[in-house]
Structures are given as C-alpha cells and as structure tokens.
Structure 1
Amino acid sequence: MRRNTTISLLAAGHACVDVYQGAVAALIPFFVAERDYSYAVASGIVLAASLLSSVAQPVFGALTDRWSMPWLLPASTLLGGVGIALSGLSGSYGLTLAFVAVSGIGVAAYHPESARVARIAGRGSHSAMGWFSLGGNIGFALAPLMVSVVIGQGSLHRTPLLVLPALAGAALCVPVLRMLARSRAGTSTAPVPRAADDVASFVKLSLAVVFRSVVFTGLSTFIALHAQQRAPGGTTGGTVALFLLFLGGAVGSVLGGNLADRYGRVRVSRWSYLLSVVAVAGAVHVPGPAMFLFVALTSAGLYVPFSLQVTLGQDYLPSRVGTASGITLGLTVSIGGLVSPLLGLLADSTSLRTALTPLIAMPLLSWLLFRALPEPAGPAPRAAVPAPTAVRQDT
C-alpha cells in the first residue's frame, strides 16, 4: 500500500464528510434570520445532528470490529450530504430536524471505519493520523465559507447545492478501497499479540473528550452570533469567527501529531488544554478585533489533542479498535451537541456572553483528567497492520 497516497485520499474524503458537521453550525445564523428562531430553538438543530450521531457512532464502531464494512465510507459520505442538502427545503421545523439527524447518522457511520482504515494505512504513525484529522478540520473550516457562498445571497432553498462535496467524497473512497484490496496479497496471516485493554484509562480519556466536545460544540453553535455582537463586521465578522474556529484545527492537528512523536501524546494534550483555558476566556470576554485572535488560539488548543485522543483510545482498547474510534470520534464528540440547547436557554434568559462563560472551565477539566492518564506504548510496526483486520477491511 502506498501510505502517503492512501492517507491523502482519506484526508480529502474526511474533509468532504466533516464539511457537513461544520455546515450545521454555519446554517444556524441563516435559520435564525430567515425563520426567526430563538437561540434555544436554533440550537435544537445542532442537538438533532448530535443526538443520533452520539448513539450511532459507537454502534457502528462495534459493528466494524466484527465485520468488514468498507462500503460504509462512500455510503455514509452520501448520506451526510443528502441530509444537509434537504434541510433547507421545508419550512417545517420537524422536517428540518429529521434531515439534519439523517446527516448526523451519515457522519456517525463514516468515522469508526475511516479511522481504522487510516490507522492501518498510516501503520500506527501519529503524524499520519494527524494528516487524516487535518482533512476533517479543513472540511469544518470550509463549511461556513461554503454555506455563505451558497446561501448568503439567496435563501435556505439553495441547500441542495451543498450535496456536491458528498459526491466528490464518495468518489475519493473508490481508489482507497482498491488500494486496500491490493495490499491484501502482501499481508501476513500470522496472528499478532495484542496488549490488554486498559478500560479505566479509556474511561478517563472519554470524559476528557466529552469536556472538549462541550466547549467546542458550544462555541461552534454560537460563536458567529457572539462575534456579531462583540466584534466588527456584523454578519461577515460572524462568518470569519466561525471560519477561524474551524481553520485553527487544521494547524492544531498537524502540530499535535508532530509534537506527539517527540514529546508523547499525553504530555502534549495536557499543554494544549491549559492553553485552551486562556484562549476560551479571551474568545468569550475580549471585545473587538482581538477576539478573532483568541478564537484562532482556542481552535488550535482544542485540536492539538484531537487526533492524539483517537490513537490513545485505540491503544487503550487494542482489542476493540473500531469501538474505541466510535467512542472517541462519536459518542464523546457528539455529546457536546446535547449541551447546546441548555446554553441557548441560558442565553435567551440572560445574554450570550453569560451563557458561554461556563465553557471556560471545560478544557481545565480535560487537563485534570489527562494528568491521571499514562502514555501507552504505541503499536509495533507489524501490529499496526494486523493481518486479520487488513483482510477484513479488504473484503
């Protein structure tokens, strides 16, 4: 298998899927403006995308631990795009929630299988997983720009145009699956011994990811509206703030993988969460143009640990890599969407800045949990591409 080519294709496909996670938050200001939704009602759309996704992603992870499901990559990409494409066509709030939920299921189905394929293709490299995560971050970052271009000069009835990245992402999956199939002939069939599962550490890691999810999802839901109130530029300023929140993740993911190869994943994650405490405080409370700098720092600080947490979860649960990926990329990440309606209710009764203030504590809680985590030994080169897993992926 040509590792660099495969990782590049996976990263590009990841971007085409995660653009739909970013699109949900990017569509919120347009739903508020066009349909006169309150903060609480608008945040319910984020909840719809997160609720089913949070439950479905670990389920898909467990399924991919047992059976080969490579078809999930193109199928889930298309499902994620179709849901968002249909979300703006009906004025019915119920149908909007349903279509966004369908998109969330598509995103949920994609991540466990793609994360395991990326782990195989990257042969356990932290940097390779960082590049794979970079693709998703770029998709997040492009989402507000894409939505602004498509919807900004028209109406929500233009959302069908947003299906185009899904069509491109599904096409990118085809050569990846072919490369995996060609690698089958050169894969050893000898069993590879695995380390024992460290369930206690995995639970602590999952809680840390939950707190990270709460702050990131809360900011991604409301940062555009918050920037319109606190920074210059009006609607444009809101789009810029959301773009920076997503774009900083591109830097953070690659930087995190490179730093982890030198200093270790746990230590690097601790540093980044401490930085995030200050950055989130600035993003919420500093007015004017300086707010944009703190938003970018927040993004980088929250995304440095992102891909590292995925591989940490896989190393803490080496016998259930798909389940670990589903939880670290799914349940714990999507759970942040469950908190967004509470933030919306608080914002409606007080102010948006007051509602966002509790988010400052979230990265501090993640830092405290990481202080109790050990640095697991990375997989041996041979174990990074276990024969039984590689064969199941190729069938």
Structure 2
Amino acid sequence: MRKNHAITRLSVGHACVDVYQGAVAALVPFFVAERAYSYAAVSGVVLAASVLSSVAQPLFGVLTDRRAVPWLLPVSTLLAGLGIALSGVSDSYAVTLAAVALSGVGVAAYHPESARVARAAAGGSHAAMGWFSLGGNLGFALAPLTVAAVVAVGGLRLTPLLLLPAVVSAALCLPVLRAERPRPRHGTAGPPAAGTDDTASFVRLSLAVVCRSVAFVGLGAFVSLYAAERMDGSRAAGTAALFLLYLGGAAGSVLGGALAGRWGRVRVSCWSYLLTAGSIAGLLLAPGPALYLFVALTSAGLYVPFSLQVTLGQDYLPSRVGTASGITLGLAVSVGGLISPLIGALADRTSLRTALTPLVLMPVLAWLLFRTLPEPVLPAPSGVTESDGDAPSRTS
C-alpha cells in the first residue's frame, strides 16, 4: 500500500478513535442536565475514563516493543466505541463509570500500536506523524458536535448510535495491517533503531506531558460548563467552546511540524507553552464572548507541541518506540483525568473559575521542563532510516 494512502487511512481511523476521548467531556453537560450530576460526580466520570487508560497505556507500549500486535487496532477501536455507546443506556452511576472505563482501556490499547504502525508506514518523518496526530485532533474537535447531534435529539438513551465511528475506524485500518510487513519479535518496526536511550531527558519530557495533560483534560472537562455559565446557561455556548478547544488541534499539529522544521521541536514547544499560560489566564478573565478568542489561543498553544512530543519521546528512547509512544501520545490526553476530581470538588465548594485558575500554572511548569531538554542530534546514515526520517530537516 502506498505511504500516503496508509497514512490517510490511519489518520482517519485515529480521528474515529479520538472521538471517544473527546466524547467523555462532551457528554458531561448532558449528564448534568439529565441526571443532575454535581461537578464532583462528572469529574468522577472523567476520572473513570482516564485512570485505567493512564495505567494501561505504558503497558501496551511495552507489549508493542516486544512484538507486533496489529490486531489491537480494530479490537481496541471497537472497545473504545462500545464503552461510550453503553455510557448512556443506564441511569446507574456505577454502570456509567464502568462503561467509560471500558472505553478508556480501548483508547489505551490503540495509541501505542497505532503510533508504531504510523511511524513504520510513514518512514518516521515529523510531517507524517503530524498528519497522523492531526487525525486524532480532528476526532477530538468533532466529538462535541457528534455527541450533540445524537444526544441532543433523543437524550442519553441514543448513545448506542455513537458506536458507528468505531466500526468505520476498524474497517479502515484492516488494509493497512494486511500490507504491513512482519518485523522481528524484539525491536521497533523495520531495522533496529540507531542511537542510545536518553532516559533522563525522556523523564523530563514525560513530566511536561503530564502538565499539558492536566491543563488539557481539566479544560476539556469543564470549559463547556464554564462557557455556558458565562453565557446565561446556554448549552450551545458550552458546546461551541469545547468544539473550539479541540478544533485548534487540527491546525496546531500541522503548524507544529512546520515550525519545528525551522526552529527545532524543543524551542517551538517552549514558545507554545508560554502562549498557553497567558491564554488560559485570559480565558478565565475575559468578559463575555471574548473568552472564545482565548479558548482558540489556548487550543493552539496546547496542540502545537502535541506531535512534537511524540517524536521527541521516540528519539529519546529509540530502542523502545512503543513505550515512548504509549506515554507521550496516550498519556498526553489521559493522565490529566486523575486531577479532574480535585477540580470538580473545588468547584462545588467555591466556583468553577476558582477551580480552573490553578491550570494556568501547568503550562508554566511544562515550559520550565522543556528549557532543560536537548534537541536530539541523530546520526545521519547513508540510507534513510526511521531515525533519519525524524530529523528536524525532514519536517518542512
């Protein structure tokens, strides 16, 4: 299968899967409206989707480093969709938690192996990984609209219809998997990666990813409620804010790859996190509809480093690409859910604005951590390899 066709299929499949990550936050206003959930209760739903995903994602990464498990892509996609499809069928809070947790496990299983397959299919370049990440970011952006189109019409009882993107994604990935060549049991896709692991830099990168995740998931869980609160209780205003927060990923991922080709991944990520700190503060302080401008700036600031962090992690751990992908790609959008119950509890006791204010510090911490990171200097072999494909000069 031609490289461009494979990446296109994987990107669209990634979009379908990440609809389910965005769907958890998109369902929050409907849980509040139909079931009268408190802030703490809805943050518990976000936690349920995140906690198993956060624990399982690195484990699936280790698995994919040891052997190819391409069958995980269709299976994990269907699990992610099934969990969200079941989340609205019962009024039981425990059943809802179990359903979104099942979806979280599906998402966790999908990302490390899909990143490995995408890296192999694309020859390892930043630009191709940016397009792969773009697919996931578009899925996030479409999640509020998809959920609203289904649930706003007939309520939470129609969530089984949300299984459809999973079926589409599973069907799209099958031709790519059939075309993929077998690889050695131990190692990453294709020839063994050159270079040595820089574990210390990878740990600092991972901490920066955690800071980004706390800000991203915290805003994803509550920005729709915050916008609705600021706009006289308009649910449409909340959906628009969440859509805008996720939509920035479409431009951010591609823009990040282009900027990194000129200035390097570490420097571009530093600039992005400084922008994000200011824009989150503006989001919380801006009057009326002006908050949408800062939602857009926050989205851009959070998404520009997204695919750059993935390839940085792979370059810091060239012998464990699956593990690196599981942490940087998967945990970037799941581990923040572990903090969301604290935000919800604080919001119940004070106000939503007060509870969201600490999120301003998260991109500042990420910026400080990125300032300590080196730009990986990769060997330049005579032939084109995956590591060669990740060099900054190939991103433009």
Please confirm whether the aligned pair reaches a TM-score higher than 0.5, indicating the same fold.
yes
CA distance in 1, matches of 2:379, 2:16: 29
Cα RMSD between the aligned structures?
A: 1.9
Query: Match for 1:382 among 381, 384, 388?
Result: 384
Q: Which residue of 1 aligns with 2:198?
A: 198
Q: Which residue of 2 aligns with 1:390?
A: none
Q: Which residue of 1 aligns with 2:392?
A: none
Q: Which residue of 2 aligns with 1:28?
A: 28
Aligned partner letter, 2:385: A
Q: Which residue of 2 aligns with 1:371?
A: 371
Residue 231 of structure 1 and its aligned partner are, at CA, apart by 3.5
Kindly tell me: are residues 232 and 2 of structure 1, through their superposed partners in 2, closer, same or farther at Cα, counting changes over 3 Å?
Answer: farther
Q: Which residue of 1 aligns with 2:211?
A: 211
Residue 181 of structure 1 and its aligned partner are, at CA, apart by 3.8
CA distance in 2, matches of 1:132, 1:191: 21
Kindly tell me: are residues 144 and 195 of structure 1, through their superposed partners in 2, closer, same or farther at Cα, counting changes over 3 Å?
Answer: same
Kindly tell me: are residues 238 and 377 of structure 1, through their superposed partners in 2, closer, same or farther at Cα, counting changes over 3 Å?
Answer: same
Mapping 1:87-106, distance limit 5 Å:
87-106=87-106
Q: Which residue of 2 aligns with 1:283?
A: 283
TM-score (norm 2): 0.93
Aligned partner letter, 1:209: V
Kindly tell me: are residues 231 and 111 of structure 1, through their superposed partners in 2, closer, same or farther at Cα, counting changes over 3 Å?
Answer: same
Q: Which residue of 1 aligns with 2:354?
A: 354
Kindly tell me: are residues 20 and 299 of structure 1, through their superposed partners in 2, closer, same or farther at Cα, counting changes over 3 Å?
Answer: same
- The secondary structure found in structure 2 opposite 1:42 is helix
Residue 117 of structure 1 and its aligned partner are, at CA, apart by 1.2
Q: Which residue of 1 aligns with 2:391?
A: none
Count the aligned residue pairs. Answer: 382
Q: Any conservation in 2 of the 1:207–1:332 contact (CA below 8 Å)?
A: no
Q: Which residue of 1 aligns with 2:221?
A: 221
Mapping 1:1-395, distance limit 5 Å:
1-181=1-181, 192=192, 194-231=194-231, 234-378=234-378, 382-384=384-386
Residue 260 of structure 1 and its aligned partner are, at CA, apart by 1.0
- The secondary structure found in structure 1 opposite 2:154 is coil
Q: Which residue of 2 aligns with 1:389?
A: none
CA distance in 2, matches of 1:385, 1:270: 23
Residue 190 of structure 1 and its aligned partner are, at CA, apart by 9.5
Q: After TM superposition, which residue ranges in structure 1, 4 or more long, deviate above 3 angstroms? A: 181-184, 189-193, 378-382
- The secondary structure found in structure 2 opposite 1:153 is helix
Aligned partner letter, 2:194: R
Kindly tell me: are residues 164 and 379 of structure 1, through their superposed partners in 2, closer, same or farther at Cα, counting changes over 3 Å?
Answer: farther
Q: Any conservation in 1 of the 2:193–2:318 contact (CA below 8 Å)?
A: no
Aligned partner letter, 1:101: A
Q: Any conservation in 1 of the 2:133–2:307 contact (CA below 8 Å)?
A: yes
CA distance in 2, matches of 1:352, 1:123: 45
Residue 287 of structure 1 and its aligned partner are, at CA, apart by 2.1
CA distance in 2, matches of 1:309, 1:108: 17
Residue 191 of structure 1 and its aligned partner are, at CA, apart by 5.4
CA distance in 2, matches of 1:265, 1:385: 15
TM-score (norm 1): 0.93
Residue 329 of structure 1 and its aligned partner are, at CA, apart by 1.9
Aligned partner letter, 1:384: E
CA distance in 2, matches of 1:253, 1:375: 19
Q: Any conservation in 2 of the 1:54–1:332 contact (CA below 8 Å)?
A: no
CA distance in 2, matches of 1:193, 1:130: 20
Identity %: 70
CA distance in 2, matches of 1:126, 1:385: 10
Kindly tell me: are residues 86 and 260 of structure 1, through their superposed partners in 2, closer, same or farther at Cα, counting changes over 3 Å?
Answer: same
User: Which runs of 5 or more structure 2 residues have no equivalent in the other structure?
Assistant: 389-396
Kindly tell me: are residues 271 and 21 of structure 1, through their superposed partners in 2, closer, same or farther at Cα, counting changes over 3 Å?
Answer: same
Aligned partner letter, 2:24: V
Residue 88 of structure 1 and its aligned partner are, at CA, apart by 0.4
CA distance in 2, matches of 1:89, 1:379: 54
What CA deviation, in whole Å up to 9, does each residue of 1:226-267 have, x standing for no partner?
A: 001123671110000000000011110010011111211101
Q: Which residue of 1 aligns with 2:393?
A: none
Residue 382 of structure 1 and its aligned partner are, at CA, apart by 3.4
Kindly tell me: are residues 356 and 190 of structure 1, through their superposed partners in 2, closer, same or farther at Cα, counting changes over 3 Å?
Answer: closer
